[in-house]
Chain A
Amino acid sequence: MGEKLDYKKLGLKVGLEIHQQLDTKHKLFCNCPADLVEAEHDSFIRRLRPTRSELGDVDIAALFEWRKGRAYEYQAPLLHSCLVEADEEPPHPLNREALLIALAFALSVEAWIPDEIHVMRKVVIDGSNTSGFQRTAVIGLGGHLWVSHDKKIPLETIVVEEDASRKMGERGKVISYRLDRLGIPLIEIATAPVISSPEEAREVAEAIGRQLRLMGRVKRGIGTIRQDLNVSIEGGAKTEIKGVQRLDLIPKVIENEVRRQLALLEVRDELARRGIDPGSLQEEPRDVTGVFRETKSKIIRKTLDRGGKVYALRLRGFKGLLGREVMPGRRFGTELADYARFWGGVGGIFHSDELPGYGISMGEVERVYELLGADKNSDAIVLVADKEENAIKALKAVRDRALEALKGVPEETRGAREDGTTFYMRPRPGSARMYPETDIPPIRVTEDMIREAEKMKPEPLPVKLEKLVETYGLARGLAEQAIRDLRFDLIERLIYRYGDKLPAKTIVSLFVVQLRGLRGEGVDVDSIPDEKLEKVISLIAEGRIAKEAFEKLVTAIAMNPQANVEDLVKDLGLGKMGVEEASSIIEKILRDNIDVLKAKGSKAFNIAMGLAMKELRGKIEGRTVARLVREKLEELLGANS
Chain B
Amino acid sequence: MVAGYGAELSKLLESIGAEPGDRVRVLTIDGTTIEGVILPRYELGDSNVLVVKLRSGYNVGIHAGRIEKVEIVGRSAKRGPIGAPVSLLEKEPSPPSRVLVSILGTGGTIASRVDYETGAVKPSMSQEEVLLAVPEVLNYASIEVEEVFSVLSEEMKPWMWERIVDAVARKIESGVSGVVVAHGTDTMSYTAAALSFAFHRGLPVPVAFVGAQRSSDRPSSDAAFNLLSAVIVAAKAPFSEVVVVMHGETGDTYSLAHRGVRVRKMHTSRRDAFQSINALPLAKIYPDSGKIEILDNEYRRRKSQGLVVDNGFDDKVAYVKHYPGPIAEILETLIDKGFHGIVIEGTGFGHVSTDAIKAIRRAVEEGIPVVVASQTLFGRVNLNVYSTGRKMLEAGVIPVEDMIPETAYVKLSWVLARTRDLGEIRKLMTSNLAGEIGYRHHVRLYPRWYHGGKA
Contact = CB atoms under 8 A, between A and B. Distances in A.
Nearest to A124: B219
A229 to B, nearest CB: 17
A290 interface: no
Interface stretch (A55-63, A93-101, A293-301, A627-635): A55-63
A529 interface: no
A78 B63 contact: no
Interface string A80-93: 00010011111000
B58 A118 contact: yes
A533 interface: no
A114 B45 CA distance: 14
Contacts of B46: 116, 442, 444
Given A121-B218, A131-B220, A115 B116 contact: no
B32 A442 contact: no
Contacts of A441: 44-45
Contacts of B66: 115
A118 B270 contact: no
Contact of A48 (B88, B89, B220): B220
Interface residues of B, number: 61
Contacts of B249: 44
B375 to A, nearest CB: 25
A131 B218 contact: yes
A125 to B, nearest CB: 6
B16 interface: no
B57 A114 contact: no
B264 interface: no
A559 B113 CA distance: 56
B445 to A, nearest CB: 23
B116 A49 contact: no
B269 to A, nearest CB: 5
A176 interface: no
Contacts of A130: 220
Contacts of A123: 219
A176 to B, nearest CB: 13
B57 A434 contact: yes
A47 interface: yes
A120 B220 contact: no
Interface stretch (B78-86, B192-200, B360-368, B435-443): B78-86
B297 interface: no
A52 B28 CA distance: 36
A47 B223 CA distance: 12
A117 to B, nearest CB: 7
Contact of A51 (B34, B217, B253): B217
B116 A431 contact: yes
Given A114-B61, A120-B59, A141-B34, A88 B116 contact: no
Contact of B250 (A44, A52, A53): A44
B61 to A, nearest CB: 3
Contact of B269 (A49, A88, A114, A159): A88
Contacts of A63: 86, 88
Nearest to A54: B115
Given A44-B251, A120-B57, A112 B32 contact: yes
A16 interface: no
A137 interface: yes
A222 interface: no
A344 to B, nearest CB: 13
A434 B34 contact: no
A252 interface: no
B122 interface: yes
B152 interface: no
A133 B219 contact: yes
Interface in B262-284: 268-271
Interface string A427-442: 0000111111010011
A285 interface: no
A549 interface: no
A63 to B, nearest CB: 7
B62 interface: yes
A66, A87, A138, A142 interface centre (most CB from chain B within 10 Å)? A87
Contacts of B59: 118, 120, 138, 436
Contact of B83 (A55, A112, A132): A55
B115, B133, B251 interface centre (most CB from chain A within 10 Å)? B251
B98 interface: no
A83 B114 CA distance: 25
A42 interface: yes
B86 to A, nearest CB: 5
Contact of B56 (A50, A89, A432): A432
A114 B214 contact: no
Contacts of A435: 114-116, 119-121, 217
B165 interface: no
Given A46-B252, A55-B79, A142 B269 contact: no
B252 A45 contact: yes
B58 to A, nearest CB: 4
Given A51-B112, A133-B219, A435-B217, 19 more contacts: A40-B454, A52-B85, A52-B112, A54-B115, A55-B83, A56-B83, A56-B85, A63-B86, A83-B269, A114-B60, A115-B66, A117-B60, A118-B59, A131-B220, A142-B32, A434-B58, A435-B115, A441-B44, A442-B51
For the complex of A and B, the 5 pairs showing the least CB-CB separation, nearest first, are A132-B219, A116-B61, A56-B85, A434-B57, A44-B251
12 contacts: A40-B454, A45-B252, A52-B86, A52-B111, A112-B28, A116-B46, A120-B119, A138-B58, A157-B58, A435-B120, A435-B121, A444-B45
